[in-house]
Structure 1
């Protein structure tokens, strides 16, 4: 049996622990029949031969920049059938200056609302809020999220801007708080898929820290997303 080939590309802002976070999933990929290559930069995206032979790209790069030829290589690979997936800022807050990357992924981190000002301590927990990940009607029938019940998290709650080409499998709702400028609750995607050419894209927005990635609901969605996104032909 021919083994599938996964490419893990990591880097960017160290606050999301790209090395430690991706290492959590390498055993899963290997046990599911993938040969795994790990790269510490996006240079590999410009290697057309390597990308053509890749069945799945797992990206964990927050912010940073991508060269035009690298993005062109990634986009061409996805259009030709290479799967593309990731979590949190490693896919939904990558390459902020690139509108073409945003077009590929279908959603972009806008903010993670914080606690009431009087409760803030000046560290990353200022942006940790208890919230619910709600599986949508579509998500209850999708193989990535089927059988997963709504679950609670206390971590960064991503607010994303998106288009309607995505298939939303889970959402989260931001309440309207007195100290915030919005005037009604806002529901945004928390997990989505996107068909792009012959390729499949899966974005999971929870995943700020290792403990969140170890949450059974989050981890199951990410791992199933890897399998679903993988090249099908």
Structure 2
């Protein structure tokens, strides 16, 4: 039976408990033995990490200790899969450059509405946008057969490197109230090979309704299966 470790915590605005609870039945239905941790100190448990086939992380911002990060990096390099969504993986441990290198992409911002349309709550950053499957994505097991899809939620602007395989993108347009001068395309879904391990990052997922979106949920669930050590060995 493959072992999955769900690590959740950090900023409560992303509702890490409720968000990860959405996927626990899926993991159980796919025969994972699931362990849930409310702290990243579990990453420092070398024995547990060596036995873990998949890590699902939902920890926005927060901080990670050196031994914990070393444990996470070592486990992924040895074949443990690593996946998550939105700020729970792409905006974690901002002060750790080694974590950013592991994941390959970092949240920079989510552009907002026209200033006169803002009301002072999180919806100020909810923009209608399209997530487009790339040519690579149309062939990849995580996104094959899926169509481009539209969302109205936070649209992540991501800083990234060239070691990622981008399965889907989203483009930030030029608007009069923004300082950039040409459209910016950010990865919205990507994979990364790190040693023997597979990483999958899905940037949509700010709120529970987005996580319940059929395509977003499909991408996240396929990503869990593809990233796991069991899949990597096949």
CA distance in 2, matches of 1:208, 1:73: 27
SS across alignment from 1:30: helix
Question: Which of 171, 174, 181 is the equivalent residue of 1:173?
Answer: 171
Question: What is aligned with 1:65?
Answer: 63
Alpha-carbon deviations, 1:25-59, whole Å to 9, x = none?
Answer: 00000000100000000000000000000000000
Give matches, 1:176-215, under 5 Å. Answer: 176-215=174-213
CA distance in 2, matches of 1:29, 1:16: 20
| Per-residue deviation, 1:24 | 0.1
Give matches, 1:21-100, under 5 Å. Answer: 21-100=19-98
SS across alignment from 1:195: strand
- Count matched residues: 231
Question: What is aligned with 1:103?
Answer: 101
SS across alignment from 1:172: strand
Structure 1: 5+ residue stretches without partners? none
Question: What is aligned with 1:164?
Answer: 162
SS across alignment from 1:165: coil
What do you get for the CA RMSD once the two structures are aligned?
Answer: 0.4
TM-score by length of 2: 0.98
Question: Which of 117, 120, 135 is the equivalent residue of 2:115?
Answer: 117
CA distance in 2, matches of 1:127, 1:211: 16
| Per-residue deviation, 1:20 | 0.1
SS across alignment from 2:222: helix
SS across alignment from 1:221: helix
CA distance in 2, matches of 1:43, 1:228: 25
TM-score by length of 1: 0.99
CA distance in 1, matches of 2:179, 2:216: 30
CA distance in 2, matches of 1:36, 1:95: 24
| Per-residue deviation, 1:121 | 0.1
